[in-house]
Structure 1
Amino acid sequence: MQKGTGQAAAEKAPAVLKALIVDDEYPARMELRYRLEKYPDVEIIGEATSAREALHLIEALDYDVIFLDVQMPGVNGIELARQLRGREVPPRIVFVTAYENYAVPAFEMRAVDYLLKPIDDERLAETIQRLREARGLARPEPGEGEREGRRSPTLTWVLCERDERQIPVAPNEIVYIFSEGYNVYVQTHSERLVTRYTLQELTERLPSDQFFRCHRSYLVNIYQIREISPYFNGAYLLRMKDKNHSEVLVSRSNVKKLKELFAMD
């Protein structure tokens, strides 16, 4: 039996992310609205100039995502996010701010992302994709905001986890990354953290002039290599600069690339 026109249209309609913009500055709201309107699966259905006004809107309507400024008169964005976490189904939060120093408390609120003003187009594209993935949405056909075939945006932070808290780690702080079983771990100088990124995603999205895939299970920061030594059967061994002086194997298939990186004979 042929489906009715209305039913078929409903099945083809893309899932839409209902968005609320919260910022006390009118130009900032208009700039963000303009940028978000380029995404066909994001619908801005509300704006608020304060946390109090935002709470009234959230009580009246369920939003999928709130683009939230941090510094506002009265209750700030961090406190508003903390209040929203107590809801049965809290909206997802994307902080949009001119200040870098709120990143850690923002991720402790389990924010999807932390965007710095002025907003970079590639970073915004990354944020929208994170929101889609959080809801299990497929990427729509490329529109004005996204060009087909473009490389995924380079990561500014690698989001990790510790004791159910979100920990943003800057790429320069990473010594190496490795996969073990079903998990991927980020090793800094002093600690090891789990991340939800796959090793392949991190290989593609961390700076290629800084990170080297030396083994199918390892990705190393070349500026964190302490020593390079020959190993068995044509492989090499890297000793890293973390506090334990970890050893990382370079597989035979990647030795040529290693020698090119360091101009080794």
Structure 2
Amino acid sequence: MLRVLAVDDEAPALGELLYLLRADARVRSAEGAGDATEALRRIGRALESGQGADEGTGGPDGIDVVFLDIHMPGLGGLDLARLLGGFARPPLIVFVTAHEGFAVQAFDLKAVDYVLKPVRRERLAEAVRRVHELVHATAQTPTPEQIPVELGGVTRFVSVDTIAYVEAHGDYARLHTDHGSHLVRIPLSALEERWAARGFVRVHRSHLVALARIDELRLDGGTTSVRVGDAELAVSRRHARHLRDLLMRRAL
């Protein structure tokens, strides 16, 4: 079961969030903090007392997840998340905010979810489910990276593992996944750098492809293309040799 810390400077919002969290059967305990400084003190006290050292889940502070507001006096939620990210085993982060414009920063900080206020019980339960699955995954299973996408005014997080290829759209990128496509405000060059270690390779100025999703490499009259699911993508001449080498090494 989860040990939760909720952080919000607005007392009514914090009280409602704690009420909903404590009503969830997957939550073992839920404490509240009125600002980031108080949250750090609580985490520090837990570190000193060594809570959770025998359970193997969550951070060394005994807190599995922090549900965190963004706009707070003094140290903001994004700043607190960055500080927590420096821990050897940081707690997971779920942002709970009235502002839609910080999803990219949440992505950079590897947040598990991004819940908009006013908080709906069903939406919060989905965030708790995501956290619960991650906390109780085996230690050998790496946490899948997720990227925020907007769907009908709701921010969802899509696992990078479900993305087959990415298409450039100026300063945006369109993610083609197993279940559709999503436009995100991140340039293709940034995703290329970030996901190189995850097996994504640039095949064209307009396309970044998951190497493991390439079904066929086609050579036709001096032109090269790859088939990824139902899509056939052109491979530029400058990327063709490198791509062939990668596919050959993968086949060996």
Give the TM-score, by structure 2 length: 0.54
Matched, 1:185 2:170: no
Contact 2:164–2:228 under 8 Å retained in 1: no
Determine the C-alpha separation between the residues in 2 that align with 1:128 and 1:74.
27
**Aligned counterpart, 1:33:** 18
Determine the C-alpha separation between the residues in 2 that align with 1:107 and 1:80.
15
Matched AA of 2:164: Y
Query: How many residue pairs end up in the alignment?
Result: 156
Query: How far apart are 1:130 and its partner, in Å?
Result: 0.6
Contact 1:21–1:44 under 8 Å retained in 2: no
Matches within 5 A, 1:94-109: 94-109=94-109
Specify every segment of 5 or more residues in structure 1 that has no aligned partner in the other structure, as ranges.
Answer: 1-15, 138-159, 173-181, 207-245, 251-265
**Aligned counterpart, 2:43:** 58
The percent of aligned pairs where both chains have the same amino acid is: 44
Change (3 A) 1:33 1:45: closer
Matched AA of 1:110: K
**Aligned counterpart, 2:128:** 128
Determine the C-alpha separation between the residues in 2 that align with 1:168 and 1:135.
20
**Aligned counterpart, 2:114:** 114
Change (3 A) 1:187 1:56: same
User: What secondary structure does 1:90 align onto?
Assistant: coil
Contact 1:46–1:57 under 8 Å retained in 2: no
Change (3 A) 1:188 1:43: farther
Runs of 4+ in 1 over 6 A off after TM superposition: none
User: What secondary structure does 2:71 align onto?
Assistant: coil
User: What secondary structure does 2:101 align onto?
Assistant: helix
Contact 2:33–2:39 under 8 Å retained in 1: yes
Query: How far apart are 1:70 and its partner, in Å?
Result: 0.5
Query: How far apart are 1:132 and its partner, in Å?
Result: 1.5
Structure 1 or 2: more strand by fraction: 2
**Aligned counterpart, 2:147:** 167
Contact 1:33–1:44 under 8 Å retained in 2: no
